[in-house]
Structure 1
Amino acid sequence: MSKYQAIFEPLTIKRMTLKNRIVMPPMGTNFANVDGTFSREQLSYYEQRAKGGTGLITLENVCIAYPMGTNGARQLRMDNDQYISGLWEFNEKMHAYGACTSVQINHAGASAYGLRLEGRQAVSASAVPSKKGNPIPRPLEIEELQQVVANYAEGALRAQRAGFDCVEIHAGHSYLLSQFLSPLYNKRTDQFGGCPENRARLTKQVVEAVREAVGPFFPISLRFSADELLEGGNTLEDTLDILRYFVDEVDILNVSAALNDSLQYQIDKMNLPDGWRSYMSKAVKDRYPDKLTVTSGNIRHPQKATELIESGQADLIAIGRGLIAEPHWVNKVENGQEFLLRQCLSCNIGCADHRIAKSRPIRCTVNPDLYEEDAYKSKPVSHSTKMVVIGGGTAGLEAATTAAEVGVNVELFESKAYLGGLAHEIARLPDKKRIDDFVTYQINRAKELDNLVIHTNHSATMADIALRNPDIIVNATGAKPLLPPIEGLQEQLQRDNRRVFSIADLLNDMANFQVFEGQEIVVIGGGAVGLDVVEYYAERGAKKVTIVEMQKELGKDLDLITKQAMMEIVTKYDVSVHVESRLMSVKDQSFMVEHEGTITELPFDLGFVCLGMRAEAPLMAELAHYARENGVMIHNIGDSKVARRIMEGTREARDILQVIDVLETSRLQKGHYEQAKRLVRN
């Protein structure tokens, strides 16, 4: 622990003392009941993070003005006293593990969740949508603003009465207070618009009303977008000046960034470095040295967290999605188990995209159980059980380690020299290197298990399987690039001095794809894989990059953060886009593409065909036959079932526990039956 001592230094803020410097920031979950109360799963989710050692847990964005201020399909509420008892029970659970608690109170304004507005028009500072393409809100009247202020004060008082140690006011991320602070949203000409002092007036009134409600000894945190990272929005220097109008009554400055239209810098995209946003908190700390600051931004490693504290860039470290992925982050760091940290990939698929874009409960690519975590390990198998896993990608590794952790004897076969499969291969792209963190974690986890044997460079055969006589077979053989029968494609891919490649060619021979300057690149396929290739070449100085997609838009199935980030790249590097266009034939140095009946030739120095992936399960028919003949259970998972993302494979892999449970139950029932027969005979 000594090398990370700064993380574990206690910190007292008025009457709240934190046992360490790690903060779980507010992150929406869509776990609440539809009436705004806690669900059992939601309480369990937070309990895991408290149990994991987190110093301060901030309850997600809670509605203080229903329905106009609501945000999310299933959001917690505290707009009247009936919610206090549930919030009190939440605090009892968190405090039992030594965690302090805060709650973020918020009015969504123009970002209000549309399906919950009961047909009403959202409200804001002005008639400006909170995101391009969103409905236009109506400006709040001056008389209505006093009710908004009262909502915040009443919410803060309820937080105090419910047993929270702190309250956080949300003044960023395109919510109502942010809509008044930002010149992008606020076009008012009254005393609440125009100059910075006027734009800060509502936030100032809210902060002062909250302080009056909770008294002088109760900590108040303020979260805000230090730099909106949009042309015409507040810059960091603008925000530093604006803070002076309401900072006096605030104890903690939670320094975030961005608005809805720069969301990839609020919910950080994958290739942003650890702690990238810390220069903002340092600037806030320098301007307001008597205030405590919180920084965030892809912080995963304890070394980085320690550096940020020791260098004075922040007093507290917010680890958001990292605690979704690894609720025991603090305890593992304190116990010297850094090698077992399940680090967030910043893929934003199960968390941000599920909640914001799809109105689903959050999930996690690398953590298949957000509610119960490792509870399964306390229920080992009661019978000797053998399992064979075919394929050492992320799905196969997750199934193998999970089964071994409950006492199953597992052997895994991987045909390649390395583990991790397609995830490890994609991670060879510089902007996707974080994906390898999951593979590393899985390998480290596997090394801890004596009852898990891994064979690399070994393609499993039916003879291998028969020799092991398994009770369960898991097939996780992954996927291969989809290469449809397009005229000239196969011929070009088989040439010696070719210029046409698949994604597998790039990933498995990166050393031969290092020339960028002067290169004209054409990519066929505007999904995740094709856009990864565009990103790789466009950001490294290719002369011209072109992308072709059959559908009406690029990245149709991408999560919203990655899509927004990719569209930023397309615009920034002037990528030529051809949508509703179809590859007709492939030549030596050009693709023939059809759009609305017109054929266009697209010349290239390098052409990439990235039309997705297809399931690859060469042994499945034989495995199914073997399973039937020998009474063996078989579980086909991940891309070998249907080519998808890592998240689906991880969750299916964890479902091996259900397969094991069925096997255990059948054996138990058989044992009871045999015992009954013996009793009858006797």
Structure 2
Amino acid sequence: MEKYTALFEPLTIKRMTLKNRVIMPPMGTNFANVDGSFNEEHMAYYEQRAKGGTALITLENVCFDYPMGTNGTTQLRMDNDQYIPGLWKFNEKMHAYGAKTSVQINHAGASAYGLRLEGKQAVSASDVPSKKGNPIPRPLEVAEIYEIIDKYAQGALRAQRAGFDCVEIHAGHSYLISQFLSPLYNKRTDEFGGSKENRSRFAKLVVQAVRKAVGPFFPISVRFSADELLEGGNTLEDTLDVLHEFAEEADILNVSAALNDSLQYQIDKMNLEDGWRSYMAKAVKERFPEKIVITSGNIRSPKRAAEILEDGDADLLAMGRGLIAEPNWVNKVQNGQEHLLRKCISCNIGCADHRIAKSRPIRCTVNPDLYYEDDYKQTMLSQPMKMVVIGGGTAGLEAAASAAEIGVEVELYEQKSYLGGLGHEIARFPDKKRIDDFITYQINRCEELSNLSIHLNQPFHINELSEKKPDIIVNATGATPLLPPIKGLSEQLAKTSRHVFSIFDILNHMEDFQEFEGKEIVVIGGGAVGLDVVEYYAERGAKKVSIVEMQGELGKDLDLITKLSMMEIVNDYGVNVYTSTRLLEVKEDRFIVEKSDGKLEELSFDLGFVCLGMRAHAPLLPELEGYAKKTNTVLLNIGDSKVARRIMEGTREARDVIEEVKLLDKHLSESKKTTALQSIY
């Protein structure tokens, strides 16, 4: 597009020419086979991003020293030549769409995946774990360091032989090279420790060995943590100094940030602004003007992306989770379809949490199919079909749009004046505003479909079914706050003038909750919703904030990144935490709680919030079931109205509705054929 010309300017690096300025950085997926090879779905995942217009696809970090350097539950390997055919096929597929390719070679060091080490102790610069609570590694002997340097070179040469256009060396994020660079990990007293020059020696030797292996014309990228964002770690200024020690042979400097114990700034938490990390890239660019510089960090908006390039902060933009959510980001922006961008909301649930915390294959809250994207649209219905969707939350919208896109005549009913349900309501918290990006996309997508009608301010009545005669009914009426029969709770919530509130009180009337200074806040419930309230008040200067949780920890079911960021807020703002504590009674201006030792305590407040989770809300379901049974109509109950969960599960269930649609279409088609044959005979 003309207004974003900076995004679409080509860039030549050595003998590699990129068609635009958007690249896909390496992101672990847990898609690989256990033996470290590709499978069909893994390949298809990358193919979608290449097809979508991305200029450079960087394959997730690949193990070149097995098992000591491995990272993740399942990881691609290239530690011997038997993996070259699979990598070659990967490159053929990417190149077919005009994308260039790179691969990240990485040694995990102390971050090595424990189950793969076959009883061996992980290695590092020193005996410091790469993360609090992780196993203690052993320091590498000098001879072992040089052996690993040689393996980096072998890995880079193997990448070149496999058809990659570039190679990236990972020197950040608490992996082995980072463990040498950072004073937090490196406690050595030999030539590989102590001064910045010595701590940089391993990185320098690796880069030099890789350059010797691949020759002068093959681009080399180095990714590093520009600011470790931990006390005692490398600052941005420190990193600029150490880069002078090892960046000479590199062509591309990929500017990232943080270590394992500051992970919420490496895998950016939701409330960090678009391109927040670009100031780091700008500093690197100013110090190394001859190098190509990459920046990243929650870049979602084409306008902000173009600004970063126009301002000279960076030469290339790395969109990681953004391309998981929207593989067609480049093509949509270039074709004037910005309103149809399915922007990543930085929730970190299906990507980071699935892979790092739960050892699952990655998924996405807003993108229900990472492998085959829009392939379902290729098979349109053969028979006319009607669908009624009750509820306009994220699950209802996804179901309605997906069905309409394959030819179903859809009517959606929402009793409120707005769409998006609980997702839109949670997005009213300033730190959760990105959630609305998904809902905006869903609404824009629905508006493109002439066979989809949306009725706002219109509760659905069961007697309308006899008139509509739908073939499929989708119930997606969402959830409601869980309010147990605690003494005094219902009485306090029923008062007109009160100090006790549920989560919907604040979400639906944010204008009434704008006073912070001098306020004492107590939140009952240490799950996602309760912590959102704590975040809202603590960050805005409330005098005292307390949170009560019946379980032994806060945020037990939160994703890894959100939990880290919430615990940072709890610690930084001095939030009073009561775990293993239960609410006994609610009074006008205080909660009576019982602590783990059986002692009672009164917690007084100016504002008290009861946030004990959500429960499914499906008031029409019994009547719908009766109608469906009587008329042989397909009835699907999805999203929170089935079980109160997160947006991701509802989105997946909503997309699965089309499988039911296709089954019904097949049945209707076969019935029609049978009727036609009966009429003939």
TM-score (norm 2): 0.99
Aligned AA (1:671) = K
For 2:496 and 2:442, the matched residues in 1 are separated by 38
- The DSSP-based 3-state class of the residue aligned with 1:43 is helix
For 1:47 and 1:525, the matched residues in 2 are separated by 43
Q: How does 1:143-182 map to 2 (within 5 A)?
A: 143-182=143-182
The equivalent residue for 1:260 is 260
Q: How does 1:89-238 map to 2 (within 5 A)?
A: 89-238=89-238
The equivalent residue for 1:430 is 430
The equivalent residue for 2:69 is 69
The equivalent residue for 2:536 is 536
For 1:465 and 1:351, the matched residues in 2 are separated by 40
Structure 2 residue 434 is matched with structure 1 residue 467? no
- The DSSP-based 3-state class of the residue aligned with 2:23 is strand
1:195-233 Cα offsets, whole Å, 9 max, x none, are 111100100010000000000000000000000000000
The equivalent residue for 1:447 is 447
Structure 2 residue 648 is matched with structure 1 residue 617? no
Aligned AA (1:131) = K
The equivalent residue for 2:350 is 350
Structure 2 residue 54 is matched with structure 1 residue 41? no
The equivalent residue for 2:599 is 598
For 2:326 and 2:567, the matched residues in 1 are separated by 30
Aligned AA (2:352) = A
- The DSSP-based 3-state class of the residue aligned with 1:585 is strand
Equivalences, count: 680
The equivalent residue for 1:668 is 669
For 1:324 and 1:573, the matched residues in 2 are separated by 34
The equivalent residue for 1:13 is 13
Q: Is there any run of 5+ residues in structure 1 with no aligned partner, and where?
A: none
For 1:118 and 1:534, the matched residues in 2 are separated by 44
Structure 2 residue 330 is matched with structure 1 residue 324? no
The equivalent residue for 1:499 is 499
For 1:570 and 1:156, the matched residues in 2 are separated by 44
The equivalent residue for 2:336 is 336
1:426-479 Cα offsets, whole Å, 9 max, x none, are 000000000000000000000000000000001101122221100000000000
Paired residues of 2:382 and 2:669 also in contact (CA < 8 A): no
Between 1:609-618 and 1:664-673, the stretch displaced more is 664-673
Structure 2 residue 581 is matched with structure 1 residue 586? no
For 1:566 and 1:241, the matched residues in 2 are separated by 33
For 1:465 and 1:187, the matched residues in 2 are separated by 72
- The DSSP-based 3-state class of the residue aligned with 1:470 is coil
1:498-526 Cα offsets, whole Å, 9 max, x none, are 00000000000000000000000000000
- The DSSP-based 3-state class of the residue aligned with 1:242 is helix
The equivalent residue for 2:365 is 365
The equivalent residue for 2:278 is 278
The equivalent residue for 1:635 is 636
Paired residues of 2:523 and 2:609 also in contact (CA < 8 A): yes
1:251-298 Cα offsets, whole Å, 9 max, x none, are 000000000000000000000000000000000000011001000000
Paired residues of 2:523 and 2:610 also in contact (CA < 8 A): yes
Report the alpha carbon displacement of residue 114 of structure 1 after superposing the two structures with TM: 1.5
Report the alpha carbon displacement of residue 496 of structure 1 after superposing the two structures with TM: 1.6
For 1:678 and 1:472, the matched residues in 2 are separated by 28
Q: How does 1:280-295 map to 2 (within 5 A)?
A: 280-295=280-295
For 1:633 and 1:523, the matched residues in 2 are separated by 42
Report the alpha carbon displacement of residue 246 of structure 1 after superposing the two structures with TM: 1.0
| CA RMSD across the alignment | 0.7
Aligned AA (1:490) = S
The equivalent residue for 1:251 is 251
1:55-99 Cα offsets, whole Å, 9 max, x none, are 001000111111111011111000110000100000000000000
Report the alpha carbon displacement of residue 121 of structure 1 after superposing the two structures with TM: 1.2
Report the alpha carbon displacement of residue 117 of structure 1 after superposing the two structures with TM: 1.6
For 1:191 and 1:434, the matched residues in 2 are separated by 47
The equivalent residue for 1:527 is 527
The equivalent residue for 1:27 is 27
For 1:463 and 1:414, the matched residues in 2 are separated by 16
Report the alpha carbon displacement of residue 676 of structure 1 after superposing the two structures with TM: 4.6
The equivalent residue for 1:418 is 418
Aligned AA (2:100) = C
For 1:481 and 1:454, the matched residues in 2 are separated by 26
- The DSSP-based 3-state class of the residue aligned with 2:37 is coil
Aligned AA (1:165) = D
1:167-218 Cα offsets, whole Å, 9 max, x none, are 0000000000000000000001111111111100100010000000000000
- The DSSP-based 3-state class of the residue aligned with 2:540 is coil
- The DSSP-based 3-state class of the residue aligned with 1:299 is coil
- The DSSP-based 3-state class of the residue aligned with 2:180 is helix
Which stretches of structure 1, 4 residues or more, deviate above 4 A after TM superposition?
none
Paired residues of 2:383 and 2:669 also in contact (CA < 8 A): no
1:543-564 Cα offsets, whole Å, 9 max, x none, are 0000000111000000000000
- The DSSP-based 3-state class of the residue aligned with 1:3 is helix
For 2:674 and 2:2, the matched residues in 1 are separated by 58
For 1:502 and 1:66, the matched residues in 2 are separated by 53
- The DSSP-based 3-state class of the residue aligned with 1:507 is helix
Aligned AA (2:622) = A
For 2:570 and 2:114, the matched residues in 1 are separated by 30
Aligned AA (2:586) = V
Report the alpha carbon displacement of residue 670 of structure 1 after superposing the two structures with TM: 2.2
Identity %: 73
The equivalent residue for 2:656 is 655
Report the alpha carbon displacement of residue 300 of structure 1 after superposing the two structures with TM: 0.5
Paired residues of 2:526 and 2:548 also in contact (CA < 8 A): yes
For 1:464 and 1:112, the matched residues in 2 are separated by 60
Aligned AA (1:659) = E
Aligned AA (2:320) = G
TM-score (norm 1): 0.99
- The DSSP-based 3-state class of the residue aligned with 2:129 is coil
Report the alpha carbon displacement of residue 657 of structure 1 after superposing the two structures with TM: 1.0
For 1:463 and 1:478, the matched residues in 2 are separated by 21
For 2:378 and 2:38, the matched residues in 1 are separated by 26
Report the alpha carbon displacement of residue 118 of structure 1 after superposing the two structures with TM: 1.7
